Every structure is written in structure tokens, then in C-alpha cells.
């Protein structure tokens, strides 16, 4: 299934989830108009506040069927200038609900794409306090990369991912939190594997 999310940006990797929609997997790029329609439906409640009304009007025009991935990326860029982030992903599991006290961590796999254009993703819900303390994100990444089998110990002597996560865990024990620069280094590291992290909450 495909997920279309509208997020109010706060930081590059954190934002408020405003609306989301689920649509069935598309069979070809000729069906990209279904994503545009879903995004148009989501954006309806926010259209009046847009500085560029063309963003919504073109999404709402159901006569347009020849949507391309470049068109959707153009919409993403224009909404980015309005302070929104649009996340379009392919996900194999049901979307997890989220309460006011929780945060949803979305691991976007830029290197794995449906129809070669839509990134796959996995999401995990955790307590907001655990996320703020940065300890939850370590557990999430440790579990994720263990399942992904990077740096198989039967083949590789060193595991820089494991080393980095252990350093963050130790820093958390000593300092009570994790230095933001250390998290930035971790994000840069996982981007080298074609992944990126995005955290969203209800407020």
C-alpha cells in the first residue's frame, strides 16, 4: 500500500503530522494521478492558507491524468516553500495509530523504491519522552540494522554502525541525554546506506 502524509515542518527530520491517506499499490506510473488526488484531498483543509493557490488547484483538477513523478516532486518543492513536507512512501504493514504522547519514527528507504520512484518505508511508534531522551531511537536503529544484516560478523571484522550506537548509548548513560551533534553524525552515517529518519507527532 502507499501512504501519503502531509507534515508541518519543524526541522528537517521532525514535524507535525497533519493528515495522511492510504491508497492501494499502483501498478504503473500511469496511476500516479491517484497519489495526486489523495494529496489534493488531504490539502483541501489547508488550501486557503497557501500563498500559491495553484498548488491546490492543480491537485484538485481531476481532469489531469498524466501525472509524472517530476510533477509530484514539483508539488513537494512548492509545498516545502510553504512550510509543509509531503512524504509519499510504499509500506508493507498497516499504519500504526499514534496518541498525543507518542511519536512515530519513519525510516525511509531511499535506496528501495516501488516502481523505481516511490521509496519504501517502515514506521515505529514510541513514547514521546523516550524519543526526546534519544534512547528509543537507538533501540529502533539497532533492531532495524540488525534485521537488515549490515556488516555481517561472519564477513566483517568491524561494524561502524554498532560502534556508533554503542557510543551513543554510553553517552546517554553518562550525560543523561545524547548530544545533538552525535545524532547528526548518526543520521549522516545511515544516509550512506540510502536511509533517512523522520519523526512525526500529533502536535
Q: Residue 193: which pLDDT band, with cuts at 50, 70 and 90? A: confident
pLDDT digits (tens, 9 = 90+) for 61-89: 999 999 999 999 999 999 999 999 999 99
For the chain, the domain total comes to 2
Q: What is the dihedral of CA 122, 148, 199, 121, to 10 degrees?
A: -30
Name the percent of the chain in helix, strand, coil, to the closest 5: 45, 30, 30
In a domain, 81, yes or no: yes
pLDDT digits (tens, 9 = 90+) for 29-59: 999 999 999 999 999 999 999 999 999 999 9
Task: Report the interhelical angle of 32-43 vs 69-81 (nearest 10°).
Answer: 20
Cα separation, 6 vs 8, in Å, equals 7
In a domain, 34, yes or no: yes
Query: Do 76 and 136 share a domain, yes or no?
Result: no
pLDDT at res. 161 = 85
User: Is it the case that residue 134 has pLDDT exceeding 60?
Assistant: no
- By the 8 A CB rule, do 202 and 17 touch? yes
Domain that holds residue 37: 2-90
In a domain, 71, yes or no: yes
In a domain, 26, yes or no: yes
Average pLDDT over residues 172-181: 67
CA dihedral sign of residues 118, 122, 126, 130:
negative
In a domain, 43, yes or no: yes
Amino acid at each position: 500500500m502507499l501512504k501519503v502524509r502531509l507534515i508541518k515542518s519543524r526541522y528537517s527530520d521532525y514535524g507535525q503530522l497533519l493528515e495522511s491517506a492510504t491508497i492501494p499499490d499502483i501498478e504503473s506510473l500511469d496511476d500516479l494521478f491517484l497519489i495526486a488526488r489523495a494529496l489534493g484531498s488531504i490539502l483541501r483543509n489547508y488550501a486557503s492558507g497557501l500563498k500559491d493557490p495553484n498548488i491546490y488547484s492543480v491537485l484538485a483538477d481531476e481532469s489531469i491524468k498524466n501525472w509524472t513523478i517530476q510533477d509530484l516532486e514539483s508539488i513537494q518543492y512548492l509545498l516545502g516553500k510553504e512550510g509543509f513536507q509531503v512524504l509519499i512512501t510504499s509500506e508493507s504493514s498497516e499504519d500504526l495509530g499514534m496518541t498525543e504522547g507518542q511519536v512515530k519514527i519513519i525510516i525511509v528507504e531511499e535506496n528501495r523504491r516501488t516502481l523505481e520512484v516511490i521509496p519504501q518505508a517502515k514506521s515505529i511508534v514510541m513514547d514521546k519522552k523516550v524519543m526526546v531522551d534519544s534512547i528509543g531511537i537507538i533501540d529502533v536503529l539497532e533492531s532495524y540494522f540488525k534485521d537488515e544484516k549490515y556488516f555481517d560478523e561472519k564477513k566483517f571484522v568491524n561494524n561502524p554502525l554498532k560502534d556508533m550506537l554503542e557510543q551513543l548509548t554510553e553517552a546517554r548513560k553518562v550525560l543523561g541525554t545524547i548530544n545533538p551533534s552525535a545524532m547528526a553524525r548518526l543520521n549522516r552515517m545511515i544516509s550512506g546506506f540510502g536511509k533517512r529518519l523522520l519523526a512525526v507527532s500529533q502536535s
